[in-house]
Amino acid sequence: MKRQTKENIQIVIFFLIVVWLIFFYIVYPLNRTKAMMGRADLDDYKERADTLIANEAALWIQAAWTPDTFRVETDGLTSIAGLICVSLDSAIGTVILLHDDGENRDSVLSLALAFLSSNYSVVAYDQRAAGRSTGEYRGDGWLEGNDLTEIIAYLDLRHQLTHPMTVVGFGAGADAAILSSLNENRIEAVVAMNPYLSSSRWLDILKTKHETWWFPFFRTVMWWYYGLRSSYAAPYRELDNIQALKVPTMLFVEEPLLSDPEVLRLKELSSDTLLTLHPTPTDESGRLDRVLEFVAKR
């Protein structure tokens, strides 16, 4: 093979490697960060980012309840849109509902109606980067936990909470409930449905859920672009950051994930009297019955 031909082949190989690196470490992660961690209506939201969405509650009103709506500025950048439905009779407690990733507060309406029918007051709100709340990117639960703490303080200051108070969360909302309960004494019980428990587990689950390709240093790269896109200064939570539970907590985890290190670590650290661990029910009615039974015991 001629020397010139060898050099040409080397140049082509070099440029192919450069293109591969650019694609997997710039183009692809930027695209996947948006898809995995951005709000469901991100493209549409960017066009109206300077205008707050009206905090209407049409779906809840149609369900024969008249909620009071509210907005809370939680960190100077995020405006949370929420509502509270007060039990028609004397409330026996308050339940705060935190919707799943990619959803909004309307997705927990059926659960809210079940609690209202059982004589609880219900609080529901769009978590950051969802529904009528502001923000382009959601988190792994840490920032959402700070939001929850601020909302509890807001409602308590206005005497809108009836104790005992339970927080029922899904996905990052489940992490928010657990993390907030470690320091927020007004939370007396938690139901956590499929929490992430660590940033590493969050990224792994998102990768599987969104069928994202693996590449070397996947977690590091994705977390870096997440911070760049979102401008959040959220800490990276690892296995060693998991703490023992402080309040009675019913934890639901998908059965294949019951043996994940984070789940086992939380079980190891927490008292059996505080942690109740179940595989996530496959039917909604079974999940609802267990949640209602757990909350009724508080």
Q: What is the CATH number of the domain that holds 115?
A: 3.40.50.1820
The pLDDT, as a whole number, for residue 151 is: 98
**Where among 234, 261, 285 does a domain terminate?**
234
Mean pLDDT per 10-residue run, the chain (298 residues)? 65 75 88 94 79 81 87 92 87 96 95 93 97 94 98 96 96 98 97 97 95 94 95 94 97 92 97 94 83 89
Beta strands 68-73; 79-85: pairing state: antiparallel
The pLDDT, as a whole number, for residue 146 is: 97
| Same domain assignment for residues 1 and 73 | no
Q: Is residue 278 part of a domain?
A: yes
| Same domain assignment for residues 193 and 212 | no
The pLDDT, as a whole number, for residue 286 is: 77
The pLDDT, as a whole number, for residue 110 is: 92
**DSSP secondary structure code for residue 181 in this structure:** H
| Same domain assignment for residues 137 and 229 | no
| Same domain assignment for residues 246 and 106 | yes
The pLDDT, as a whole number, for residue 3 is: 67
Q: Based on the structure, what is the number of domains in the chain?
A: 2
| Same domain assignment for residues 32 and 94 | no
- Which neighbouring-strand residues pair with 85? 122
**Where among 234, 251, 285 does a domain terminate?**
234
Q: Is residue 114 part of a domain?
A: yes
What does the pLDDT look like over 40-54, one tens digit per residue?
889 888 777 666 668
Q: Is residue 134 part of a domain?
A: yes
The pLDDT, as a whole number, for residue 298 is: 79
| Same domain assignment for residues 109 and 253 | yes
The pLDDT, as a whole number, for residue 30 is: 92
| Same domain assignment for residues 118 and 208 | no
- Tell me which residue range forms the domain holding 33: 1-37+199-234
Q: Is residue 94 part of a domain?
A: yes
Q: Is residue 49 part of a domain?
A: no
| Same domain assignment for residues 192 and 220 | no
C-beta pairs of 244-247 under 8 Å, 24+ apart in sequence = 244/269, 244/270, 244/271, 245/178, 245/181, 245/182, 245/190, 245/269, 245/270, 245/271, 245/274, 245/275, 246/181, 246/182, 246/274, 247/181, 247/187, 247/188, 247/189, 247/190, 247/274
| Same domain assignment for residues 140 and 158 | yes
| Same domain assignment for residues 185 and 134 | yes
Q: Is residue 109 part of a domain?
A: yes
The pLDDT, as a whole number, for residue 138 is: 95
Q: Is residue 43 part of a domain?
A: no
Q: How far apart are CA 129 and CA 22, in angstroms?
A: 29
Q: Is residue 275 part of a domain?
A: yes
**Where among 180, 211, 234 does a domain terminate?**
234
| Same domain assignment for residues 103 and 204 | no
Vertex 161: Cα angle to 156 and 162 (nearest 5): 140
| Same domain assignment for residues 141 and 287 | yes
The pLDDT, as a whole number, for residue 1 is: 60
**DSSP secondary structure code for residue 216 in this structure:** T
The pLDDT, as a whole number, for residue 48 is: 72
